[in-house]
Amino acid sequence: MQPRLAATLEHLARAGYDDFYRGDLARSISRDLQQLGSPLSLADFEGHRARFRTPLCLSHSLGTVYNMPPPTQGLVSLLILGQLDRLLQPGMDPLGAPFVHTCVEATKLAFAVRDEHITDPDYMSIDSLDLLAPGALDAMAGRISMSQAAPWGVGRGPGDTVWLGAIDRDGVAVSFIQSIYHEFGSGVVLGESGINWQNRGCSFSLDPHARNPLTPGRRPFHTLNPALARLADGRTLAYGNMGGDGQPQSQAAIFSRIVHFGWNPQAAIDAPRWLLGRTWGQTNDTLKLEARFSDEVFEELRCLGHDIERLNPYDDTVGHAGAILLQRNGLMEAGSDVRSDGAAAGW
């Protein structure tokens, strides 16, 4: 039971959602945060305005793929798919070592771009669309060796996130993601409102020379990136997943299995996945594979130079994914992750 939070939600239903930023609830939240030593003030809440953003789009050989622009890591997901569009072969096994190796190596290059460039777009020195140009993607894909794993540094870590997707009878599709970041966000429950306060500010650095320095009015980098694709054959795919660094990696696996190899959404999500980097409570940055991959895949990836760790079967370390595929004839296929408590439903 969370009576304070329930009362807060009822208050918002009566007063309107703007009360969160410019009303009684805003004043309540700011009082609690001030008592906790937070630098957030009522003026910060009152000055906030949501922005409508034009999504990034990738011109893919099989359609157009959309994702969110900076300060999200949507660019990362599109960079991975752009490279895979140039590297995946029709006869490649979606459960084989060459497929996993190609996805992982594309991820490394995309993460390098993220760590060097992505921040509040008002402060970025490059245009994200330039990185998605065909020539730029050709060059990035050309750097991948199919016979040797590239060196790998460190990832950014976990998230406490949920993805939701919906498509209606008219074909209107929504890909939605929400997060308070880290396990239970900041771990702070506000006394008056009962709100479990988020922790997105941890993406800032106290180093003024860092890529994402803590600065008044600046938006933090974050990992959220719900995905949507309009395929050249007339189908629509809404897909996404939670999991910090794992979001673009699982998106690459699921998109490729559905779009390149023709799997249905549930099979694509259910199949074994991997995670390069760290996640909840972990400190190592190995390439982690679910145990359902064959022993041959583990051995072949080790021989390619990957530092491998074996996960449990259906391990939620690799995140919780979902997808809805709308066919041209109106038929819908959906998949939900057995690694989570989500569901796919139609009505």
Q: Each residue of 82-101: pLDDT tens digit?
A: 999 999 998 999 999 999 99
pLDDT for the residue 36: 92
Nearest 5°: the CA angle 200, 202, 206 is 135
pLDDT for the residue 282: 58
pLDDT for the residue 186: 85
pLDDT for the residue 201: 83
The set of catalytic residues is 161
Give residue for tokens 């600065």. 215
Structure tokens at 266: 């549930």
pLDDT for the residue 224: 85
- H or E segment and range at residue 127: none
Q: What is the DSSP letter of 196?
A: B
Residue 129 has, within 13 A of its CA and on its CB side, a CA count of 5
pLDDT for the residue 280: 57
pLDDT for the residue 19: 97
pLDDT for the residue 157: 53
Q: Which domains does the chain have, with CATH numbers?
A: 56-161+222-336 (1.10.246.130)
Which residues of the chain fall short of a pLDDT of 50? none
Whole-prediction pTM:
0.91
Pair type for strands 173-179 and 287-290: unpaired
For 305-344, the DSSP string reads T--EEEEPTT-GGG--EEEEEE-TTS-EEEEE-TTTT---
pLDDT digits (tens, 9 = 90+) for 131-163: 999 999 999 999 999 999 999 876 555 556 788
CB 154 within 8 A of CB 278: yes
What distance, in Å, lies between the first and last C-alpha atoms of the chain?
A: 30
